[in-house]
Amino acid sequence: MLYVSGELDLASAPRLEEAIADAPPTAPVVIELSGCTFLDSAGIRTLVSAATARPEGRVDVVTTDPGILRVLEITGVDTVLAVHPSVDAAL
């Protein structure tokens, strides 16, 4: 489980990339975005890259924030990654 709080942007995306890379390749990765207040193109790229770079491992996102959900929808990220309303639903 990876928790993101604050902004997921050009400055913070590399930290998430490192955390994802440290996960075992076949283990599911759940990225908890409920504390995320802003998501830009660098954050979106990180999420999509995680899904495509881990073909043997699942990557799921958790958020209920309407703004973050909208960004995931309009960019099509919700078609590449499973988006869940809670951690329990993701697990």
Q: What is the pLDDT of residues 41-87, one digit of tens each?
A: 999 999 999 988 887 778 999 999 999 999 999 999 999 999 999 99
Residue 34: band (very low, low, confident or very high) from pLDDT cuts 50, 70, 90: very high
Which domain range does residue 7 map to?
A: 2-90
Instruction: List, for residues 6-18, the tens digit of each pLDDT value.
Output: 999 999 999 999 9
- Provide the CATH number for the domain around residue 30: 3.30.750.24
Q: Is 63 exposed, middle or buried (0-12, 13-18, 19+ CB in 10 A)?
A: buried
Residue 29 and residue 58 in contact, taking contact as beta carbons nearer than 8 Å: yes
β-bridge partners, 7: 38
Is residue 82 within 8 Å of 90, Cβ to Cβ?
A: yes
CA 41, 46, 49, 50 dihedral sign is: negative
CB distance 14 to 45 below 8 Å: no
- Count the domains in the chain: 1
Position with higher pLDDT, 91 vs 63:
63
